[in-house]
Amino acid sequence: MSQHKTRQKNDRQKHSPTNPALKTAASGKSKSGRNNNSSLKAPSARVPKKTYALNWLVYAIGFILLWIFTSIVYGDVFWRTEQSSYVSDNAVQMKFVTDLGLGWLYYSGRWVLTLFKYPSIGGLLLSAILTATAWMLNYILRLPMKWWPCGFVLPILICAYYPLRSFNLYFRSEPSWVFLLPIIVLTAEVVVATIMSILRFRSLSASAKKRTFFTAAVCFILAAAASVTAYSLLPSNAARGIMLFVIVLALAIIIIVGSSRPKEGISMGTALISGVSMIAVGICCYILTNDVANNEIKTARMTRMLENRDWDGMIEEALSAKQPTRSIAGYYAIALEETGQILTRLFELPFEYPDIEFDADSKNEEYGLFTADCNFAAGITNPAYHYAFEQTVMGGQTLHHLKLMALCAIMNHEKELAEKYMTIISKNPFEDDFIAQYSPMINNPKLIDQDERLARIKKLQTTVMNRAFEQNFQKPTFIGYSIGHLPTSAEEYLNTIASLLYSKDLQRFISIAAGFEQNNIPMPECVKQAIAVYIVSKPDGQNVAQQFPDIANNYRGIAINFLTQAQPIIKRQQEESRAKGFKKDANGKYLVDDETKVKNNKEMRDALKGTWLGTYYYYYFCENNNPNQVQKPKGDGVN
């Protein structure tokens, strides 16, 4: 009987739902985990293979796009920013920076900024810092891997800061913010991430803790080795301090993020979608940047081309601008002067200057960007030196102005002054090429004649400026000087004609226009057109027609044709002025208010630009005449 009860009990346990053997059989798996009942397996969709390495594809694409922006798209602006800075290990020379409230921070940032002497190298470091900000933002927000591209919103916002600052990024502003802004943001992120890591450390598994300690030990060793290298190789304590800070910052990021390595990867499809999306956003940002900062980019690029003497490149850049600024027009004129095309291509550029918003303390100071360079190109080296020195006093030392003052001293044979500036420039890193090119000319002035550009400027140098004050001429000086004295050479004569035509001073222009025939100089088309404009628009035009009969016969009809096409707009302008009750001038024409003039001038430009741009007719009647454009220099000057 007892054996029978025992057998029944065993049967009940064997068929019990809690029996482990029955659970295994029901799941279709053996103890080894293999499937013993394939017929019980439910059909399911194929799960995409996930790869951990694909996680970093997002950062790789982001880094490449940021490098393209910082070194190619905006690299020329960062180069101009570096040239608008100065740094050395001489404490006395840097007091104009270190005495400021955040002087030592600016001083450190200027050392890093020197890398943008070569935009591709500076762009690498800046892109690495911006990519690190995206990395740290993803860590702080604990975003899922498929949302990692969202971390690049912060680098995009930082990059947007540069175009929005426009010329104020470097003009009479602290240029080191190019690097300081992303470094400060990244430092703040590291502080937040460090606090979060400390709070999470206790919850880590034993293996994660070991990995963190191991990573920290390795980073400590690397930091020690990098510190010794930086101390022995870098030229100053400031540079060593910057390098140590960057090393510690980078290793802190490695430790923080390394302590929470993701356990899963992302699928190839997700990686491709992320990559394509980031590239699309990058293209949109490029289009937007090129639209918003077109003039800033071209001005900086033309300044760099000026240093490299790429005259054809400067001309192409200017003519491709959507609405050129005065800076672009000034550098365009330099390139034309260097290539002997000042009167043949000057008016191909549309002179419809836009307004530029400068900071409050430098409003309407666009002339400060280019006047010194234009003065030097025009051969008036004393005004070029004075203007560069004036800008240095107001905005601090910059490489751009120090180099120009050194060249002016060389051209004026001021040996001690030139050596002084060369010594100052040599303290700034990466300027060995400039020193090697121009220093020999200090003790051997004959080398100036072997330099094509300086030899041309030497021919333009005269003694007139040494006998007159700059205040006697209209501003900007490179135009006012040309129209303020009688030319003494063929080169000066062409510059004077160009300046008179640009300033629309046809009365003085007519008085010396006969010099072309007297000196057997071929008369350019724009000069003939200007004479025709005078004939059809001035009371004594008939007398000029008798003086230039061939031009009157061949060009007067073209000028009349232009005015015929513009007449409907001019007539409408007069009708609007009459309706507003304005008075008439001495010639019986109604005075026109600024609002009406601006509206009709724009309408006239839009209607006639396609056919007449590049002619003096179009320039004289349609361009450089809006009262609401950037103001003229203080006092009497040429717009």
Question: What's the pLDDT band for 267 if we cut at 50, 70, 90?
Answer: low
Interval 606-626 mean pLDDT:
85
Q: Do 289 and 321 belong to one domain?
A: no
Higher per-residue confidence, 259 vs 299: 299
**Residue 279 within any structural domain of the chain:** yes
Q: Do 103 and 136 belong to one domain?
A: yes
Interval 44-61 mean pLDDT:
62
Q: Do 148 and 271 belong to one domain?
A: yes
Q: Do 264 and 329 belong to one domain?
A: no
Interval 620-633 mean pLDDT:
61
Query: So what's the pLDDT on residue 525?
Result: 92
Q: Write the DSSP string, 396-442.
A: ---HHHHHHHHHHHHHTT-HHHHHHHHHHHHTSTT-HHHHHHHTHHH
Last residue of a domain, one of 267, 295, 323: 295
Q: Do 433 and 403 belong to one domain?
A: yes
Query: So what's the pLDDT on residue 358?
Result: 80
Backbone phi, psi, residue 123, to 5°: -65, -35
Query: So what's the pLDDT on residue 7?
Result: 53
Is the pLDDT at 349 greater than 90? The verdict is yes
Question: What's the pLDDT band for 568 if we cut at 50, 70, 90?
Answer: confident
332: containing domain = 315-503
Antiparallel, parallel or unpaired: β 50-51 and 266-267:
antiparallel
**Residue 587 within any structural domain of the chain:** no
Residue 632: strand, helix, or coil: coil
Share above pLDDT 90 across residues of the chain, in percent, rounded to a whole number:
32
Q: Do 198 and 102 belong to one domain?
A: yes
pLDDT in tens, 434-479: 999 999 999 999 999 999 999 988 888 865 555 556 666 677 777 7
Contacts of 347 (CB under 8 A, 6+ apart): 501, 526, 614, 615, 616, 618, 619
Query: So what's the pLDDT on residue 312?
Result: 95
Backbone phi, psi, residue 260, to 5°: -135, 55
**Residue 381 within any structural domain of the chain:** yes
What is the DSSP secondary structure assignment for residue 615, as one 8-state letter?
S
Q: Do 182 and 325 belong to one domain?
A: no
Interval 67-71 mean pLDDT:
94
Looking at the whole model, is its pTM more than 0.95?
no
Q: Rounded distance, CA 179 to CA 117, Å? A: 14
Task: Yes or no: say if 352 and 362 are a contact pair by the CB < 8 Å rule.
Answer: no
Task: Yes or no: say if 236 and 89 are a contact pair by the CB < 8 Å rule.
Answer: yes
Q: Rounded distance, CA 440 to CA 418, Å? A: 11
Return the sign of the alpha-carbon dihedral for residues 572, 629, 564, 510: positive
**Which whole-number Å values give the CA distances from 202 to 27, 175, 189, 205, 208, in the listed order?**
38, 44, 21, 8, 10
**Residue 30 within any structural domain of the chain:** no
Is the pLDDT at 271 greater than 80? The verdict is no
Is the pLDDT at 588 greater than 60? The verdict is no
Query: So what's the pLDDT on residue 537?
Result: 85
Q: Do 169 and 284 belong to one domain?
A: yes
Long-range contacts made by residues 441-444, C-beta under 8 angstroms, separation at least 24? 441/410, 442/410, 442/415, 442/418, 443/415
Interval 392-403 mean pLDDT:
91
Query: So what's the pLDDT on residue 26?
Result: 44
Q: Do 93 and 201 belong to one domain?
A: yes
Question: What's the pLDDT band for 594 if we cut at 50, 70, 90?
Answer: low
**Residue 383 within any structural domain of the chain:** yes
Q: Rounded distance, CA 258 to CA 250, Å? A: 12
Backbone phi, psi, residue 330, to 5°: -65, -45
pLDDT in tens, 190-216: 878 777 776 666 666 666 666 666 666
Interval 210-228 mean pLDDT:
62
Paired strand residues for 267: 50
Q: Which strand (E) or helix (H) includes residue 272?
A: helix 268-292
Q: Rounded distance, CA 214 to CA 314, Å? A: 55
Q: Rounded distance, CA 616 to CA 307, Å? A: 31
Q: Do 398 and 291 belong to one domain?
A: no
Query: So what's the pLDDT on residue 128?
Result: 92
Q: Rounded distance, CA 123 to CA 129, Å? A: 10
**Residue 133 within any structural domain of the chain:** yes
Burial readout 3-26 (b: 16 or more C-beta within 10 A, e: otherwise): eeeeeeeeeeeeeeeeeeeeeeee
Interval 285-299 mean pLDDT:
87
Last residue of a domain, one of 488, 503, 518: 503
What is the DSSP secondary structure assignment for residue 41, as one 8-state letter?
P
Q: Do 277 and 366 belong to one domain?
A: no
Question: What's the pLDDT band for 150 if we cut at 50, 70, 90?
Answer: confident
Is the pLDDT at 74 greater than 90? The verdict is yes
Paired strand residues for 637: 475
245 C-beta neighbours (distance < 10 Å), count = 14
**Residue 590 within any structural domain of the chain:** no
Domains in the chain: how many in total?
A: 2
Is the pLDDT at 534 greater than 60? The verdict is yes
Interval 76-81 mean pLDDT:
96
- What would you report as the CA-atom Rg of the chain, rounded to the nearest whole angstrom? 35
Query: So what's the pLDDT on residue 622?
Result: 84
Q: Rounded distance, CA 121 to CA 332, Å? A: 29
Interval 552-581 mean pLDDT:
74
Count of residues making up the chain? 639
Higher per-residue confidence, 500 vs 583: 500
pLDDT in tens, 412-440: 999 999 999 999 999 999 999 999 999 99
**Residue 563 within any structural domain of the chain:** no
408 C-beta neighbours (distance < 10 Å), count = 27
Q: Do 246 and 366 belong to one domain?
A: no
Is the pLDDT at 174 greater than 50? The verdict is yes
Contacts of 384 (CB under 8 A, 6+ apart): 372, 373, 375, 376, 404, 408
Question: What's the pLDDT band for 239 if we cut at 50, 70, 90?
Answer: low
What is the DSSP secondary structure assignment for residue 355, as one 8-state letter?
P
Question: What's the pLDDT band for 166 if we cut at 50, 70, 90?
Answer: confident
Last residue of a domain, one of 462, 482, 503: 503
Query: So what's the pLDDT on residue 566?
Result: 78
Task: Yes or no: say if 312 and 338 are a contact pair by the CB < 8 Å rule.
Answer: no
